[in-house]
Amino acid sequence: MSSVSSTQSASAFSAAELKAQTTLDNGPGAHRIGLIALASDYVVERDFMNMRPGDEVAVFVSRVLNVNPCTVENLKTMGPRLADAASLIIPDGRLDAMVYCCTSGTAAMGYDTVAENIRSVRPGIPVITPITAGLRALNQFNAERIAVLTPYTDDVNASLVDYIQEHGPQVTAITSFHFANDNDMARIPPEAIVSAAKEADRDDADALFISCTAIRAVDVVDEIEQALNKPVVCANQALFWESVRTTGYDAPINGYGRLLKMELS
């Protein structure tokens, strides 16, 4: 067996040149999503990968530092950090959508603040957030009155309801687990989310919106929708729906509620 002498100088080293010609393609992912997850989020990457229909959809992830407890003031501290997080996602490569995965953070800061920070380093790319995607989904279902389920404490709940009613449907009721720590939100079992959703629903609501990317609502959104017999929109489901449709992927995706079978309109 031949070997390369350890005494051979670096300048003299030469690997054999391939005789076959290499033609480069466009790299992995015909449809590319850049995802900014919270540092404390256990769920959103997993949900995106579970909902991903195949390798034609690629998800590239960065993280942004967030602060517990989850309060409106702490949520706002993420704004100046979003540019750095966005800059780490394949900075020299193509992305079709940039996604910030915090529902309450977007409500606290405002969509424009989120988008401006991300676009400062990734201009010209659509910026998608859970609350704006959720409102777009609810509008797609023609929902004028909604019930809301959250894991938050009431200062964050108030900010969320104000944002929804300023930009979307009327909130007829809001029900909450009242957790202040993201780590606890991730520990809410899916079966508890099903029970909570049934309790949170109201007869006069056209749809149920389940807020927060940190909880495992995607696992049971189909089950909840069938139990309530009305549209159910949850944060990660809506976020993935608008993201993947924005990239140009338009085939139905089964198993995650009615929304992922629908095109953008």
Chain-wide mean pLDDT for the chain? 95
Q: Does the pLDDT at position 187 exceed 60?
A: yes
Confidence (pLDDT) at 3: 52
- What is the CATH code of the structural domain delimited by 132-234? 3.40.50.12500
Q: Tell me how far apart the alpha carbons of residues 203 and 172 are, in angstroms, rounded to a whole number.
A: 10
Q: Tell me how far apart the alpha carbons of residues 132 and 112 are, in angstroms, rounded to a whole number.
A: 11
Is residue 38 classed exposed, middle or buried when 0-12, 13-18 and 19+ CB atoms within 10 A define those classes?
buried
Q: pLDDT exceeding 70 applies to what percent of the chain?
A: 96
Q: Does the pLDDT at position 258 exceed 80?
A: yes
Per-residue pLDDT band at 265 (split at 50, 70, 90): confident
Confidence (pLDDT) at 12: 86
Q: Does the pLDDT at position 229 exceed 60?
A: yes
Q: Does the pLDDT at position 4 exceed 90?
A: no
Query: Of the candidates 58, 91, 48, 107, which has an alpha carbon nearest to the alpha carbon of residue 236?
Result: 48
Q: Does the pLDDT at position 9 exceed 70?
A: no
Q: Does the pLDDT at position 2 exceed 50?
A: no
Which residues does 215 contact at the CB level (< 8 Å), separation at least 6?
A: 43, 151, 185, 186, 188, 193
Q: What is the mean pLDDT of residues 137-150?
A: 98
Q: Print the SS3 string covering the chain.
A: CCCCCCCCCHHHCCCCCCCCCCCCCCCCCCEEEEEEEECCCCCHHHHHHHHCCCCCEEEEEEEECCCCCCCHHHHHCCHHHHHHHHHCCCCCCCCCEEEECCHHHHHHHCHHHHHHHHHCCCCCCCEECHHHHHHHHHHHCCCCEEEEEECCCHHHHHHHHHHHHHHCCEEEEEEECCCCCHHHHCCCCHHHHHHHHHHHCCCCCCEEEECCCCCCHHHHHHHHHHHHCCCEEEHHHHHHHHHHHHCCCCCCCCCCCCHHHCCCC
Per-residue pLDDT band at 10 (split at 50, 70, 90): low
Q: For the segment 68-90, what is each residue's pLDDT rounded down to a tens digit? A: 999 999 999 999 999 999 999 99
Q: What is the mean pLDDT of residues 8-36?
A: 88
* Cβ 185 vs Cβ 41: under 8 Å: no
Q: What is the mean pLDDT of residues 216-240?
A: 98
Domain boundaries 31-130+238-261, CATH class: alpha beta
Domain ranges of the chain: 31-130+238-261, 132-234
Tally of CA atoms within 13 A in the half-sphere of 167 that contains its CB: 18
